[in-house]
Structure formats: structure tokens, C-alpha cells
Structure 1
């Protein structure tokens, strides 16, 4: 049984490692070399694709656009979703169920269904082709998921601690800020990592709402390398490698909280 599990894990690791390795190797190849030798090592480990990506194509601006949108979105999302989740666990049982159900229903609506209404609404508000419009839409799309996850974590906080603090005269804001929020850090980290990946890699809403070069995000900018007859795959793969670096760093710095959050959820969920 143990050997079977290890074999399954090994096969799963290979399924992930092989395409990732091919993408990484392709970022050092030229287009003819990529087509001729897909699975081989580069003949010369040249950084020309990386230089072209950031110097000639001004991808640095798009990279920081994505970084700005992701950071602002996650900070605002965590703030409001944690407030809503705290309210859910503190409201009466009936009202709590109604509020929680309202957000759960929001998870059932596909993003594609909202494309036309969202576009019309932002057009009327004058928020098309702006960071503000994209951030607001992304937060609205991710809020139900964040509330769903954080509510589960906050419900694991012992009610006796909250009630004791309430008896001692602590306000709801103090209970939220001093007690519930610190105890929910693993949940916040889990939501932050999960939603960061979704925001960073999102193509649908940036492609729909952003038009000018000044506000393009990295996934949208990488589409510029796709032509009608010729596609510069080495540059696209280089962009994929560069786009993966921030998410890898986020995971490395927050993996302790992520693992703790997953463990907490499995034990008390």
C-alpha cells in the first residue's frame, strides 16, 4: 500500500515537473531551435529572450501593473472578507445563515455570465480601462470564496474566549482586531495565497476591461506575442517563467501559515 502511494505521488510529480521543465528550457531557446528540438537542452544558455521581454517589449510596466493589481486586490479582499466572516459568526443564527447563504450563492455564478453586465456597469461609472474598475470587479468575484473559507476558520475560534472578552468590556472591533484576526492568520494566509494566484493569472477580466497599454497586466500583454501566422513561443514561455516567480515567492514565505491552515481545517472542520 505504501509503495502504491509513493508511485502515485511520483507519477503526479512527473506530470507537473515535465511541462514546467519544458517551459523553463524553452525560455532559453530561439524559435527555430524550439521547433526542431523541443525536449532537448538549449544549445546555448542565452538570456536574449529575457532581455527582449523586459527591454524591447517594455514588459516591466506590465509586470508591475499585475503586481499592483494583485497586492491591492488581496489587501482589500482580506480586510472586507474577514469583517464579513466575523459578522457571520457573531450574528444570530438565523441572520447568520441568511448572510452566509447569500455569499455561497455568489460562488455558483460563473464569471462568464457577468461579463456583459459588468462591462456595461463599469462603462456607465467611467471605470473602464482603469485599475480601480478591474480591482473592484475582481474583489466582487472573489469575495464569496474568501468569505466561505474564512468563516470556516473563524468558527473554530472558541466562543468562550470571545464571550469572556465581551464580558470584560471589549468592543466588537477590539474582539475582531485583537483576538479573532490573529487566531485566523492561517486562514488569511490560505485565502491570500489562493486568491493571489487567481488574480495574478487572471486573463478574462483584464482582457475585457483593460484596453490601453498603460494599464495592461502581464497575462494580457503576453497575448501580443501571438500573431495571425507566427507565434513567438520562446518569449511567451519566458513570460510564463517570469510570471511564476512572484507566486513562488509568496508560497515560500507563507507556506508555514498555509500548511498550518490546512491542518487546522482538517482537524476542526
Structure 2
């Protein structure tokens, strides 16, 4: 199942492997480096066609300041926070409760309910576009924060339930037996026993959900229309002019949009790794 380690006495294979790794890494990094370089160029330099060369002038402060002073990116950032933060908390709360019930209680249709949670992850998002949009219109939620918040909570809870169910199922049975012996209710067991022990899983799930919701573009353009509620991903498209686009500002805004999920990952990296490894022990 796993690739065999390359022996030390096979320098050709080891050299070929390292070369392929470096090549793939460069192919992945080149677009990112090009965007970072473009965000430092002046508008005239971009219009002159210098996309891949070394920047002649470094307009770091000017470009990144203009993102918030000459565009509506500040509003889009606030919109993304208003949408993402409640979505993350909603997913964490619902998935913890459903994961606890599905992993620790045996009842009729439990497997069917779990299959419905998991099966929703296999549906292409495109086939739900029209039904979800029509539903939000009927509910009067179209082009509001609530449309995106409700959808993201509903859409992400399936994967999150699978994640939390496996993590909670890996906890020792003796803990729950002791809680029942002490007369703890299901709610007390969840709050005082399960939640403190699944903090690494919650941290990992928070990072994943934050990244999914923050980086979403498809549903941002399907469920929103006005500038007042658009998140950053949809707002980036508005930075393109009808005739001329300031690609240096677009590149700078793109870098700024990528910072929050990257920063959150590095701040919670230890919990993220622990959550992924421990949660995969028992199914």
C-alpha cells in the first residue's frame, strides 16, 4: 500500500526521485511566485507586459494600501468574516452532537442516517445549484448573509459528522461507562467528557471548515448578487475593470485573501496534526 523506501545504494533512483519532487514543487510554486511578484509591480510595468521578470520597482506599500483605499475589499473582508465565523461554529456544534450520538448510541436507522450524512459529500455541487438557489428565493434569504451561512453549515456538516464520529468512536469505552456510573446524562457526558477530549479534532475541523468556507467562490456567486453581502472570493472578480484591469492590485488583493486561512493553519498546526492522526484510529 505504501511506496517502498529508496535504498541508499541506489543513487540513480534517489536522484531521479529528488529531481521529480523539485520539479513538482516548482510547478506548484511558479504561479504563486508570479502572483507575489505582480503584487509588487507598478501599474505601468504590468501594462508593459513584464509578468515574469524581476520587478523594476517595488510598490509594496502602495499596492497593498490601495487594495483597501481604492477598492471595496475591506467590505468584502468583513462580509467573509460574517459568513465564515458563524458557519464554522455551527458546523462544530452540529457535527459534535451528531458524531456523539452516531458513535455511542445504537438505534434503528442509525446506519441509514450516517449514510445520508456521508452520501451528501459525493454529490457534485453543480447539481444542487438551481434547487438551493430556488429554495433561498422562496425563503426570502437570497442575497443575504443567512443564505451562505445556512448552506455552508448544511453542506459541511456531512463531512464534519464523519470526522467527529470517527474521533469520538476512538475514545475509550471506560470513560463513558464511568460517566454513566456517576449518573451523568447524555448532555453532561457530551459537555464534560467528550468535548474536552476532542479539542484537537475540533481544532482540525475548524481549520478545514474555515478554509472551505473562506475560499468558496461557486456558492458566493450563486447565492449573492449585491456588493453589500459578497465575500472576498466573489469580490476579487469585481476588481477587474471593463476595459483595463489593475492586475497589480488584483494580485495584491489575492495575496491578502489567502493570508487568513494560512495564518489560522500555522497558529493551530499542532492541534490540526493531532486531530487528523488520532481521529483516524478507529471507525
TM-score (norm 1): 0.92
Taking structure 1 as reference, are residues 181 and 93 closer, same or farther at Cα in structure 2, changes over 3 Å only? same
Taking structure 1 as reference, are residues 266 and 137 closer, same or farther at Cα in structure 2, changes over 3 Å only? closer
Deviates more, 1:226-235 or 1:138-147: 226-235
* Cα offset, 1:6, TM superposition: 5.0
Match among 219, 223, 236 for residue 237 of structure 2: 223
Equivalence for 1:264: 278
**Structure 1 position 167 matched with structure 2 position 181:** yes
Residue pair 2:133, 2:142 contacting (<8 A) in 1 also: yes
TM-score (norm 2): 0.88
Q: Deviations over 1:41-89 (max 9, x none)?
A: 3222113322222111121011111122111110111111111111101
**Structure 1 position 100 matched with structure 2 position 114:** yes
Residue pair 2:98, 2:161 contacting (<8 A) in 1 also: yes
**Structure 1 position 44 matched with structure 2 position 54:** no
Equivalence for 1:190: 204
Residue pair 1:89, 1:96 contacting (<8 A) in 2 also: no
Equivalence for 1:22: 34
Q: Helix, strand or coil: the match of 1:36?
A: coil
Q: Helix, strand or coil: the match of 2:268?
A: helix
**Structure 1 position 13 matched with structure 2 position 25:** yes
Q: Helix, strand or coil: the match of 1:64?
A: helix
Tell me how far apart the structure 2 counterparts of residues 179 and 6 of structure 1 sit (CA, whole Å).
Answer: 46
Show structure 1 runs of 5+ residues with no match: none
Q: Hey, which of these two has a bigger chunk of helix by percent?
A: 1
Q: Helix, strand or coil: the match of 2:109?
A: helix
Taking structure 1 as reference, are residues 197 and 173 closer, same or farther at Cα in structure 2, changes over 3 Å only? same
Equivalence for 2:10: none
Taking structure 1 as reference, are residues 207 and 28 closer, same or farther at Cα in structure 2, changes over 3 Å only? same
Equivalence for 1:56: 70
* Cα offset, 1:20, TM superposition: 1.8
* Cα offset, 1:148, TM superposition: 1.1
Q: Helix, strand or coil: the match of 1:213?
A: coil
Q: Deviations over 1:132-183 (max 9, x none)?
A: 1110011111111111111111110111111111111111111111111121
Structure of higher CA gyration radius: 2
Equivalence for 1:66: 80
Residue pair 1:74, 1:195 contacting (<8 A) in 2 also: yes
Residue pair 2:103, 2:166 contacting (<8 A) in 1 also: no
Taking structure 1 as reference, are residues 122 and 39 closer, same or farther at Cα in structure 2, changes over 3 Å only? same
Residue pair 2:42, 2:58 contacting (<8 A) in 1 also: no
State the superposition RMSD in angstroms.
2.0
Show structure 2 runs of 5+ residues with no match: 1-5, 8-13
Tell me how far apart the structure 1 counterparts of residues 199 and 28 of structure 2 sit (CA, whole Å).
Answer: 29
Q: Helix, strand or coil: the match of 2:193?
A: helix
Residue pair 2:71, 2:239 contacting (<8 A) in 1 also: no
**Structure 1 position 156 matched with structure 2 position 138:** no
Equivalence for 1:144: 158
* Cα offset, 1:95, TM superposition: 3.4
